Structure 1
Amino acid sequence: MSEAGNLFTLLRQSADLEAAGAIEELVRDAPDRDLCRVNVIDFARRSGVDEERAIAAFLHAARLGMFELSWNVLCPGCGGVLDTSTTLKSVNKEEYDCALCAAGYRPTLDEMVEVTFTVSRRVRRIAAHDPHELPFAEYFRQIFWGSGINIPDYFEQLVEEIVLDQVELPPGEKALLSLQLPAEFVIVVDPVTHGTQFLDVKGEPTRERQNLSLVFDRLRAPTGTVTLRPGPLRLTLENRTDTRLLPGLWIAGDKLHELLGRRRPFLTAKRLLTNQVFRDIYGTDTIDVEQRLKITSLTFLFTDLKGSTELYERVGDLVAFDL
């Protein structure tokens, strides 16, 4: 039996059989993109598995090394992933900035931190294991946006309609784009560095060529706005990082706003922290006192039940609460 087969045998011994079977089917039959940052809540809905059992099964799969668990800080505006980590303790910034939205946000466990699962190379190799080789559209789909954005199947066609131009920019290289600017608000954004430049294209059209130069690095400078006129533009792009970049010019119109409005539920950090299986497996992965994380809603339970402490320790808080 293969290593993956042995791991699924172990998973069936520790997790709900229906949930384990659904995960095995996902790994066997799903396209690569569906195995990168799996949205467990959506997985449960599509497979008909109880959400709590699905969460528990993925946690056991992560414990066995079948999936990689990640904590992703999301922008509440555009749904983009602002930061990602393998432990919640690493989510320790007081504020996270989104260049695309030109706004900063304090992370909240029940709104801005999602938990996703990506299949391990031990089980199945997928394209996202080498993210810097993903095509333009797939990088946005699988890496840039979080699992709470419901990317449609026709995303590639949509990209052709709302992206004026895009280029693959190797490390240390420059690129020159020549294009016609429409009278629209245009956003130049690179999904790797999150470097962003707003272009407010308005006024009388011009036949004179306009020139603009942009440099992408790791500094994440504040997003600025340049006013241009409809007409020809020569755009020079420079990559000052050691990574391939994918800058593109997006029309910030109704179609982009409709895309960003396609939201679906996702597994939040708050929900996972209250999951008994998570607490059993990852008991040390809790919030440090120094972390500046907010929770917008929290329930406190007080009880004078005799022997309640021993009961909670034996069966877990959630089960004891249900009693």
Structure 2
Amino acid sequence: MQAAALFSALRQAAEPAVAAAIERLVAQGPDRALCRINALAFAASHALAEEPTIAGFLHAAKLGLFDMSWNVLCPGCGGVLDSGANLKSIHQEQYHCALCAAGYEPSLDERVEVSFTVSPRLRAIAAHDPDRLPPFEYYRQVFFSTGVDLRDDFEERFAAAILAMVELQPGEKTALSLELPAQFAILFDAVTHSVQFLDVQGEPTPQTQVLSMVVSNGHELNEAVRLRPGPLRLALQNHSDRRVLPNLCVAGDNLHAILERRRPFLTAKRLLTTQTFRDLHRTESLTVDQRLKLASLTFLFTDLRGSTALYERVGDLAAFDLVRAHFRVLQDIVAAEQGAVVKTIGDAVMATFPSPDKGLSAALKMRSAMRDLNSQRRCDDFVLKIGIHEGPCLAVSLNDRQDYFGQTVNIASRVQGLADPQAILATASVVEDEAARELLLRSGVAPVRRPVFLRGMAREVPIFALT
């Protein structure tokens, strides 16, 4: 009965086709399909639009049907380096991938994904107890991110790359005998990320070589061990408090074929610029001390011209209603372009978009929508000044709300301040974006260069008026 009520609520909140597809998934999907769901892949496989699908899963998570997971990824192998229930769990300045022997900053652009797993209160699946998953399923459902396209031949290809794999319970140890080929090999445990590299080369030896590794949570990266092709006795000990799955695999074509298959996934950046997320999951904000980097985010600022005179002319109540009407139109346009309104300041709006073309498209639609509002109301009260800029920034928490900080935000705000009524001003990073250029060409809009000096900046900044 509780599930029926929750799905009824989901049907009220999400698009009908999305809600129906999610309900079918929970009722009929295999366990594997309900663990760390890639919302973009789900949309593609069900012929659904991405934005309504993302919104549907966000509503489902808010209702308790799914648990969200924020996963820090290795861009090299696509493995999950850390995972938490919210954005606050991303607390390290750098994460290290033992398998790739490399460190990475947890940029929200492509190195943090958001996935959805069915709640155990709704349906129990094997991945709710990952230490009981079969080894290959652990790799598929827990170790690899949703951006790695693990197809039906995954187990076959992985098995072809593996020389040996064992399961060890806490405190357990074992010894294996195997034959080493003349190829680089990796001894790796997906649970603790313990690793040892084997540089196998030279003339084959008939003598049995010996190698041992202690699998533990605090395992440190070791230099590659130089070995020769031939017999090997491998001793393994589990000093962790969990079941571990050490395997010795050849770093050859089969392994590379698995790692090279990639697909789009829901990034933290995309989610943070989704209006539904900001509306439903305000408690997913960062902690006061967190500073998470974004390599690129597009900011759009608007301001309503002459709002003070409007209040004077028509009175506070009527003016307030007009301003609210303009906010509703702008918010709808922002959401339709994969953006989110970060905040309103008086009669101004600050919005973010995942890419320059989305921000630019929103700006053009806003200008057109204000003209339509003026025509409908037979007035000229709705005249916007718009500024757009793209660049790196920090995601921060300000006044218990997820916000952004940095020079990119300052420039976008100051560019808007220079705009004339009904004008859209954009910086070079926006109009020179390939997708943005194509949009301007299709729209018949010609950017006119206007070099200016912005307050607080020593060098000239080229901006473009979109007329």
Q: After TM superposition, is the score higher than 0.5?
A: yes
1:234 to 1:309, Cα distance in 2 relative to 1, 3 A: farther
Q: What SS does the aligned partner of 1:205 have?
A: coil
**Which residue number corresponds to residue 26 of structure 2?**
27
Query: Aligned-pair distance for 1:289?
Result: 5.1
**Which residue number corresponds to residue 127 of structure 1?**
126
CA contact 1:93–1:291 (8 Å) conserved in 2: no
Is residue 238 of structure 2 the alignment partner of residue 239 of structure 1?
Answer: yes
Q: How far apart, in 1, do the equivalents of 2:291 and 2:183 lie?
A: 39
State the Cα RMSD in Å: 1.8
Deviates more, 1:306-315 or 1:150-159: 306-315
**C-alpha distance after superposition, 1:214-260 (max 9, x if no partner):** 00111141243101111111111110111000000111012211210
Is residue 53 of structure 2 the alignment partner of residue 54 of structure 1?
Answer: yes
CA contact 2:66–2:118 (8 Å) conserved in 1: yes
Structure 1 counterpart of 2:151, one-letter code: P
Structure 1 counterpart of 2:122, one-letter code: V
Q: What SS does the aligned partner of 1:294 have?
A: strand
Q: What SS does the aligned partner of 2:283 have?
A: coil
**Which residue number corresponds to residue 227 of structure 1?**
226
Q: How far apart, in 1, do the equivalents of 2:152 and 2:264 lie?
A: 18
Q: What SS does the aligned partner of 1:301 have?
A: strand
Q: What SS does the aligned partner of 1:284 have?
A: helix
Q: How far apart, in 1, do the equivalents of 2:301 and 2:86 lie?
A: 30
1:8 to 1:257, Cα distance in 2 relative to 1, 3 A: same
CA contact 2:149–2:261 (8 Å) conserved in 1: yes
Query: Aligned-pair distance for 1:57?
Result: 0.6
**Which residue number corresponds to residue 108 of structure 1?**
107
Name the TM-score, length of structure 1 as normaliser: 0.95
- The number of residues matched between the two structures is 322
1:2-41 correspondence to structure 2 within 5 Å = 2-41=1-40
Q: What are structure 1's unaligned runs of at least 5 residues? A: none
**C-alpha distance after superposition, 1:18-71 (max 9, x if no partner):** 100010111122211111000000000011111110011101110111100010
CA contact 2:88–2:286 (8 Å) conserved in 1: yes
CA contact 1:210–1:233 (8 Å) conserved in 2: yes
Structure 2 counterpart of 1:279, one-letter code: R
**Which residue number corresponds to residue 67 of structure 1?**
66
Q: What SS does the aligned partner of 2:33 have?
A: helix
CA contact 1:215–1:237 (8 Å) conserved in 2: yes
CA contact 1:198–1:224 (8 Å) conserved in 2: yes
**C-alpha distance after superposition, 1:161-217 (max 9, x if no partner):** 111110000001111111001111110110000111100111110111100110011
Q: How far apart, in 2, do the equivalents of 1:269 and 1:220 lie?
A: 29
1:309 to 1:34, Cα distance in 2 relative to 1, 3 A: farther
Deviates more, 1:26-35 or 1:16-25: 26-35
Q: How far apart, in 2, do the equivalents of 1:132 and 1:314 lie?
A: 50
Query: Aligned-pair distance for 1:122?
Result: 1.8
**C-alpha distance after superposition, 1:50-104 (max 9, x if no partner):** 1110011101110111100010000000000000011101201110000000000
1:121 to 1:86, Cα distance in 2 relative to 1, 3 A: same
Name the TM-score, length of structure 2 as normaliser: 0.66
Q: How far apart, in 1, do the equivalents of 2:180 and 2:21 lie?
A: 48
1:186-197 correspondence to structure 2 within 5 Å = 186-197=185-196
Query: Aligned-pair distance for 1:9?
Result: 1.2
Deviates more, 1:289-298 or 1:144-153: 289-298
State the structure with bigger RCO (CA 8 A, min sep 6), 1 or 2.
Answer: 1
Deviates more, 1:257-266 or 1:297-306: 297-306
Identity percentage over the alignment?
56
Q: What are structure 2's unaligned runs of at least 5 residues? A: 308-321, 336-340, 342-361, 367-467
**Which residue number corresponds to residue 262 of structure 1?**
261
Is residue 285 of structure 2 the alignment partner of residue 286 of structure 1?
Answer: yes
1:166 to 1:146, Cα distance in 2 relative to 1, 3 A: same
**Which residue number corresponds to residue 99 of structure 1?**
98
Q: How far apart, in 1, do the equivalents of 2:68 and 2:43 lie?
A: 17
Q: What SS does the aligned partner of 2:193 have?
A: coil
**By percentage of residues, which structure has more helix?**
2
Q: How far apart, in 1, do the equivalents of 2:84 and 2:222 lie?
A: 25
1:295 to 1:309, Cα distance in 2 relative to 1, 3 A: farther
Q: How far apart, in 1, do the equivalents of 2:229 and 2:240 lie?
A: 31
Is residue 79 of structure 2 the alignment partner of residue 80 of structure 1?
Answer: yes
Q: How far apart, in 2, do the equivalents of 1:123 and 1:288 lie?
A: 30
Q: How far apart, in 2, do the equivalents of 1:132 and 1:313 lie?
A: 48
**By percentage of residues, which structure has more strand?**
2
Q: How far apart, in 2, do the equivalents of 1:231 and 1:312 lie?
A: 72
